């Protein structure tokens, strides 16, 4: 793929585009009363893409057989081609799956595990819970002949410290007479929402002989991706989060060298080629690779979101001004916004000395709320909740944010302190962060009055 192809997708000068901020909320389908501060969990898409999605669905219903068997594969190829340019990957390495969890499960279920029982799956303590559980399930399924080890991370951390922890974990596996088979790691972790040193991790995995399985669920549309340069063993990223594509849709990248490993999709469908028998397929003949064919049809489902990828990339380029403009706005708003919220609460936000953790569209702010006792850096006015009420408060916060404040924020703990994650987007500006600060301040005051016990 040529450099000019990548530039054509990534950037476009559009001087007529209105400045990002609250005016862009009109482009989306939000309830006017709703404050969408949690784009990172489920994403959303504009009216324009809603119309594209419904048009594809209408085509599917007008002539189901023609569309599904003959038209849809061509539309899928067009969408694959555009997203391949965006992430700078060869077309034959890129397919679509329902979400990042699908991609991670697909890899883990296809890998071959050694009969000696010495293979180890590595992940970090910040692994997305569903992906961690996928590894846990395999340990149970193989009845202990496989091991899943976690690498503990306590933020804030420098990127080099994370890499060092990974090296030490691999060394410990080897010292125990076992082998580190695969490591699952993020592009941007979910909780806390911070950039992970994923490119350096891929390099170290190659050096140490560990398969790199990159969960880029939070990735495409939020930060630049060059998969040819990064060269992971497997990579998946949700298009429905930051690329303004309908749910659920993820781009799944596998270099040619590893495609033979992925013999089946989830669920196994017509693309599977059995070794012991010969079976026909009801699908039209195709000259595409076994990898592309396998993921092109995985049972009868609505593939409309996949087809919208091309339209979303075009909308972001032609209406928003291009990927670079979007990403620049998101990063800047994220860095300024979380500082504003932290100042309003009299707390702190999460970053490292080089500021790399906030080079994304999600940021994390500490709440003046502690579990059990006040920790380091606490103020006398900070709230303390009893340990036995920790989970009650956690759930009360979520319900109250939705019911009383018409918003939602992902909550998590670092040590014994409550934190929240806030998502930047093109339809937000600093006034939205000011509103978030006021909401959170009032919410914490209500926790201090033990309202969660009265619910």
Give the pLDDT confidence score for residue 17 in this predicted structure: 74
pLDDT in tens, 319-332: 999 999 999 999 99
Q: Which fold has domain 55-313?
A: 3.40.640
Q: Residue 283 in contact with residue 134, Cβ under 8 Å?
A: no
The per-residue DSSP string of 131-170 comes to HHHHHHHHHHHTTTSSEEEEE---SS--HHHHHHHHHHHH
Average pLDDT, the chain: 95
Find the length of the chain.
455
Question: What Å distances lie between residue 120 and 105, 149, 274, 303, 455, CA to CA?
Answer: 16, 7, 28, 35, 45
Q: Residue 326 in contact with residue 426, Cβ under 8 Å?
A: yes
Task: Please provide residue 150's backbone torsions phi and psi, each rounded to the nearest 5 degrees.
Answer: -100, 150
Residue 15: is its pLDDT beyond 90?
Answer: no
User: For the chain, where do the domains classified as CATH 3.40.640.10 start and end?
Assistant: 55-313
- Structure tokens given for 112: 């071959």
Q: Residue 170 in contact with residue 178, Cβ under 8 Å?
A: no
First and final CA of the chain: distance in angstroms?
58
pLDDT band at 11 (very low <50, low <70, confident <90, very high): low
* Segment 153-171 mean pLDDT: 96
Query: Among residues of the chain, what percentage have pLDDT more than 90?
Result: 94
Whether domain 325-453 has CATH 3.50.50.60: no
Among residues 137, 204, 147, which one has the least CA distance to residue 179? 147
Residue 13: is its pLDDT beyond 70?
Answer: no
Spatial separation of the C-alpha atoms in residues 439 and 455, rounded to whole Å: 19
pTM: 0.95
pLDDT in tens, 169-194: 999 999 999 999 999 999 999 999 99
* Segment 420-430 mean pLDDT: 98
Give the pLDDT confidence score for residue 9 in this predicted structure: 53
- Structure tokens given for 292: 């592309």
pLDDT in tens, 298-349: 999 999 999 999 999 999 999 999 999 999 999 999 999 999 999 999 999 9
User: For the chain, where do the domains classified as CATH 3.90.1150.10 start and end?
Assistant: 325-453
pLDDT in tens, 104-121: 999 999 999 999 999 999
* Segment 131-137 mean pLDDT: 97
Residue 213: is its pLDDT beyond 70?
Answer: yes
Spatial separation of the C-alpha atoms in residues 256 and 242, rounded to whole Å: 27
pLDDT band at 6 (very low <50, low <70, confident <90, very high): very low
pLDDT in tens, 371-397: 999 999 899 999 999 999 999 999 999
pLDDT band at 3 (very low <50, low <70, confident <90, very high): very low
pLDDT band at 4 (very low <50, low <70, confident <90, very high): very low
Q: Residue 259 in contact with residue 246, Cβ under 8 Å?
A: no
* Segment 231-245 mean pLDDT: 98
CB-based burial label for 388 (10 Å; 0-12, 13-18, 19+):
exposed
Q: Label the pairing between strands 147-151 and 179-186.
A: unpaired
Residue 415: is its pLDDT beyond 90?
Answer: yes
pLDDT band at 5 (very low <50, low <70, confident <90, very high): very low
Token pair 């901020």 in the structure block, residue = 21
């Amino acid at each position: 793929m040529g450099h000019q192809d990548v530039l054509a997708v990534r950037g476009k000068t559009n001087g007529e585009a209105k400045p990002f901020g609250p005016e862009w909320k009109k482009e989306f389908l939000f309830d006017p009363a709703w404050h969408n501060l949690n784009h990172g969990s489920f994403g959303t898409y504009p009216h324009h893409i809603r119309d594209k999605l419904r048009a594809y669905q209408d085509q599917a219903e007008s002539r189901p057989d023609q569309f599904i068997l003959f038209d849809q594969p061509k539309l899928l190829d067009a969408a694959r081609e555009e997203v391949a340019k965006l992430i700078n990957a060869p077309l034959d390495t890129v397919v679509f799956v329902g979400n990042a969890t699908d991609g991670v499960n697909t890899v883990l279920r296809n890998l071959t595990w050694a009969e000696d029982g010495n293979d180890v799956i590595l992940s970090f303590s910040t692994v997305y819970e569903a992906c961690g559980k996928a590894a846990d399930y395999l340990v149970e399924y193989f009845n202990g002949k496989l091991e899943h080890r976690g690498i503990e991370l306590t933020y804030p951390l420098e990127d080099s410290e994370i890499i060092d922890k990974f090296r030490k974990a691999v060394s410990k596996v080897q010292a125990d007479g076992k082998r580190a088979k695969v490591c699952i790691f993020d592009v941007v972790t979910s909780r806390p929402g911070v950039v992970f040193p994923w490119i350096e991790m891929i390099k170290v995995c190659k050096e140490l002989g560990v398969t790199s399985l990159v969960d880029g669920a939070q990735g495409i549309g939020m930060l630049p991706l060059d998969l040819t340069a990064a060269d992971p063993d497997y990579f998946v990223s949700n298009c429905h989060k930051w690329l303004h594509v309908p749910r659920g849709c993820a781009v799944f990248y596998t270099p040619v060298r590893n495609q033979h490993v992925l013999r089946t999709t989830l669920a196994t469908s017509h693309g599977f080629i059995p070794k012991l028998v010969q079976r026909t397929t009801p699908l039209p003949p195709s000259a595409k690779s076994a990898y592309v064919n396998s993921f092109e049809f995985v049972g009868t489902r609505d593939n409309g979101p996949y087809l919208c990828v091309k339209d979303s990339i075009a909308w972001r380029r032609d209406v928003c001004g291009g990927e670079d403009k979007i990403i620049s706005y998101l990063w800047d708003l994220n860095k300024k916004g979380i500082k504003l919220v932290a100042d309003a609460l009299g707390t702190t936000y999460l970053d490292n000395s080089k500021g790399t953790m906030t080079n994304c569209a999600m940021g994390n702010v500490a709440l003046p709320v502690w579990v059990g006792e006040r920790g380091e850096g606490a103020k006398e006015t900070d709230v303390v909740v009893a340990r036995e009420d920790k989970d009650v408060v956690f759930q009360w916060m979520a319900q109250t944010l939705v019911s009383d404040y018409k918003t939602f924020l992902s909550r998590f703990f670092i040590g014994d302190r409550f934190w929240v994650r806030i998502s930047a987007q093109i339809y937000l500006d600093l006034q939205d962060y000011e509103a978030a600060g006021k909401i959170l301040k009032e919410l914490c005051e209500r926790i201090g009055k033990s309202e969660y016990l009265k619910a």
